[in-house]
A and B are shown apart, each in its own frame.
Chain A
Amino acid sequence: MRKMGLVAVMVGLLAGCASGVKLDDIPVEDKAGTSVAAAGGVSARSADPVGASKTGVTAVDLGKPGQDAAGPAGPSVVYFDYDSFIVKAEFQSVVEVHARHLRADAKRKAMLEGHTDERGGREYNLALGQMRAESVARALGLLGVAGGQMEAVSFGKEKPAVAGQGEDAMAKNRRVEVKYR
C-alpha cells in the first residue's frame, strides 16, 4: 500500500514536470516523406534547459489514440492458420463484403492490418503480419478493388486481440483486421 503511494507521488511529480515547461519552438516535428495523420495532440517538455545536461531527455507525449471510421456491417477479421498466409475459404465471405463496400464508393479506403501470435521476434512477426495483410489485399484485388483504395500494413505481435498463451488465444491473434479511416 505504502509502495503504491510512493509510486503515485512519483507519477504525480512526473506529470508535474510534463505540464510545467513547454517548448518554445512548436512544431516539434519535421516531416519528411508523405504526411502522417497526427494521433491526437503532441506535447513536449524540457527536462533541463537545452545543453545544460549531457543526460537530459525531453519527453514527447503523443496523447490519445486515433479513431476508426465505420465499415460495412458484419465481420471484418480474417483468421489464419499457424505460419500460414492463405486466406481460407471460410473467410471468403468476409472479403466479399468489404470488396462490395469499397467498390461502392471509390473514396473509401481500407487499412488491412496484419497480426501474428506472440511466438518469435517482433520484427520478424511484423514481416509475417505484412504477408497476411498483403494476402487479403490480393483477395480484394481479385474482386475488383482498386489498389489505391487499400493499404496492407502490419502490427506484428504488438497488438494481440486476446491475451494468453494457449492455442485458442493465439489462433484469435493470427489475423488481418479490415479498418476504415
Chain B
Amino acid sequence: MLKQFVTDARRQCVPWGLFNEGVIPPAISRMKIDHPENLPKMHHRRAVLASLVACSVLPAWAQFRVEVSGVGLTQLPIALAAFRGELASPVKLSAVVLADLERSGRFKSVDMTGLSMDETTRPDLAALRQRSADSLGVGSVTRLQDGRFDVRFRLWDIVRGDDLGGQSFVVPAADLRLVAHRIADYIHEKLTGEKGVFSTRIAYVTKSARQHSLWVADADGENAQIALASPEPIISPAWSPSGSQLAYVSFESRKPVVYVHDVATGRRRLLANFRGSNSAPAWAPDGRSLALTLSRDGGSQLYAMDASGGEPRRLTQTQGIDTEPVFAPDGRSIYFVSDRGGAPQIYRMAASGGTAERVTFAGTYNISPAISPDGRWLAYVSRINGAFKLQVMDLASGTVTGITDTLADESPSFAPNSRLIVYATQQDGREALMTATLDGKIKARLAGQNGDLREPSWGPFQN
C-alpha cells in the first residue's frame, strides 16, 4: 500500500478587507469564449490594495490537507499558468484552481516556471509536451471601473493541440474564489467526464470554549463564514435543495428546537418548537417539506412538516426511538434509524409513512444514514468492536464497505456528484472533518484552527 502526501492545499486569503465594500448586485454572468483571437484587449488595473495587504497578513481560516492512498491511481498532469493580472487581484485564481484539482486526487500539477500566457495566447505545444503536461489552463483577471472583476479562462488539450473551450465571468471581489472553483469544475468535467464539486459549499459546526458556531465554507474549507454564533450547542445542519437555507437544531432556548436559516441574509424562521425535543431535520428533494423528529407525543418519532411551518403530520407509530430521517433522491421514500427491533438499525419506508423494511443487518448499532444524490449508495455509521466506523452500502447489491481507519466517525454527507463523502471524525484527540472517495482511496482533512469541527453537511450544486 502506497501512502503519499500529495499537497498542502494552497493558503488562500479570505478577502476580509472587502466585506463591507459596496459592490454592485449582479451575480455571476457567464459566457463561452469561442474565438481567442477576437477577445478585446484588456486593461491592466491595480486591485484594491487593502485586500492585498489583508491577504498577505492573514492565515487561512481552515484548510484541507490531502492524503492519497492506494495503488495504481492515475493522475492527469495539468499545467496551470498564473492568470494574467492575478497578482493585483484579491484572490490568486490559478492557485485556488490548482489546489482544487490536486485535492481531488485526480490531477497532478506540472511546473510552469518561466512560461507566461493567458487565454488569448496560442500555447507552445512542444514546450508544454516537454514538461509532460497533458492539458493547460490559462486565463486573466481584470478589475473593471465599477469595482467588479472580469475573469476569463481557456483550457487546452496539449496532447492533441485542441482548444477545449473557455469561460468568462464578471463578479464582485467576494465571488472571485467562487469563480476559481467554477473554473476547476469546468476543467474537472472536461478532463474526467464527471461533474466537479469545487464550487459547492459545506456547512459545519465548531465548538470552542464558550461558543458554538455554524459555518458555511467553500468545499475546500476556505472562505469560511459564520452563519450563527450561539452560547448553546448547534447540531444537524441540513442544506435546503436550493442551497440557500440551512435547517438545523439549536439549543439556544435550552432545549432542541429546529430553525430554518437563510444564510445570505441571516433571516431565521422557527420551524419546530413543540413541547419536548425537536431535532433531525431533513429536506424533501422538492424543498417544500421537511421530515424531522419530535417528542411532543412521547418518545422520539418522525413527522413531516411544510417548510413554511404549520401542523406536523406523524409518520411513525412506535413505542421507542425513530429518528434521523433522510429522503431518497426521488422523494418517495425515507430512510431512518429505529430501535424497533431492539437495537438501532436503518429502515426504509414510504415518505408518507406506513410499514418499514429493514436495510442494515450486520451489527447492533447502525445510525446516521445518508443517501447519495444518484440514489446508488447508503453511507452510515456502524459500531464495530466498540469503534464507530463509516460504512458505504451499494444499495443495488447490499454490499457494505468500510472506508476509514478512524474510530469515531460521525455524520456522513454526500457531495452533490455522489463521488465524495464528508464526515466528522477524531484524529489526535481533535474533532476534524474528512472527505473521502467512495472507495476510501483519496481522503482530505479539513484542519480547523478554531476548535473542534463537526456536523458537516455538503450543499447542492449551485447555478
Residues of chain A at the chain B interface (Cβ within 8 Å)? 3, 6-7, 9-10, 13-14, 17, 20-21, 23, 28-40, 44-66, 111, 113, 119-124, 126-128, 130-131, 134, 151-156, 158-159, 179, 181
Add 13 more A-B contacts to A45-B266, A120-B367, A123-B337 (CB < 8 A): A10-B61, A32-B271, A51-B264, A54-B178, A123-B279, A123-B368, A124-B368, A126-B279, A127-B277, A127-B293, A128-B321, A130-B295, A131-B321
Counting contact residues on chain B (CB < 8 A from A), the size range is 35 or more
Residues in chain A near residue B267, CB distance under 8 A: 28-30
Task: Return the contact of A29 from the options B218, B264, B270, B298 (Cβ within 8 A).
Answer: B270
Task: Return the contact of A155 from the options B233, B308, B368 (Cβ within 8 A).
Answer: B233
Residues of chain B at the chain A interface (Cβ within 8 Å)? 16, 19-25, 27-28, 54, 57-59, 61, 171-172, 174-175, 177-178, 201, 216, 218, 223, 225-233, 235-236, 249, 251-257, 261, 263-277, 279-280, 293, 295, 298-300, 308-310, 321, 323-324, 337, 344, 365, 367-368, 381, 383, 388, 410-411, 449, 455, 462
Residues in chain B near residue A6, CB distance under 8 A: 57-59
Residues in chain A near residue B22, CB distance under 8 A: 49, 52
Would you call B266 and A59 a contact (CB within 8 A)?
yes
Q: Closest Cβ of chain B: how far from A114's Cβ, in Å?
A: 8
Q: Closest Cβ of chain B: how far from A169's Cβ, in Å?
A: 15
In Å, the complex CA distance between A49 and B321 comes to 44
The 3 closest A-B pairs by CB, nearest first: A58-B266, A32-B309, A57-B225
In Å, the complex CA distance between A8 and B57 comes to 12
Q: Given that A37-B253, A120-B365 are known contacts, is A130 also in contact with B300, CB under 8 Å in the complex? A: yes
Q: Closest Cβ of chain B: how far from A55's Cβ, in Å?
A: 5
Would you call A121 and B175 a contact (CB within 8 A)?
no
Would you call A153 and B410 a contact (CB within 8 A)?
no
Residues in chain A near residue B344, CB distance under 8 A: 124
Task: Return the contact of B323 from the options A9, A33, A36, A124 (Cβ within 8 A).
Answer: A124
Q: Closest Cβ of chain A: how far from B432's Cβ, in Å?
A: 16
A-B contact pairs, 12 of them (CB 8 A): A7-B449, A9-B58, A10-B61, A36-B253, A52-B172, A54-B175, A57-B263, A64-B231, A123-B236, A123-B323, A126-B235, A126-B277
